[in-house]
Amino acid sequence: MSAAGKPSAFAAPRGAAPSVKPHPFTPQLAREAAATPPTLPKDAKLAAFATRLPPDLQRLVKTACAQRGIRMQDAVYEALWQWLNNQEPRA
């Protein structure tokens, strides 16, 4: 059988109506699923993550967290989640 006659694993079967819902592993759906970080439970197993910030920035983050009533580690978790999932792929 020639390569042209073989069915593609990625194409819809012949005669099938095109699917409206994209494949679950498309980058579009991955970005939508990752748009909001999952809630980090208080008892979640965590690894230490240390970083150095200018004192003024650290103070701003600490103040903003206090005003919002969240822990600094939750703010860092959310910010990193957003940053990782909102990057455009590099060419």
Give 26-65 pLDDT, tens digit per residue. Answer: 566 566 665 666 777 778 788 888 999 999 999 999 999 9
Are the beta carbons of 34 and 81 closer than 8 angstroms?
yes
State which amino acid sits at residue 36.
Answer: T
Query: How many whole angstroms from its chain centre is CA 20?
Result: 23
Q: What is the mean pLDDT of the chain?
A: 74
pLDDT at 75 over 70: yes
What pLDDT shows up at residue 14?
58
What pLDDT shows up at residue 39?
75
Measured at the CA of 40, the angle between CA 60 and CA 73, to 5 degrees, comes to 25
- Pick the residue with more confidence: 2 or 68? 68
Q: pTM surpassing 0.75? A: no
Q: How many CB atoms lie within 10 A of CB 54?
A: 8
Encode pLDDT of 43-52 as tens digits. Answer: 878 888 899 9
Residue 82: closest CA among 34, 47, 27: 34
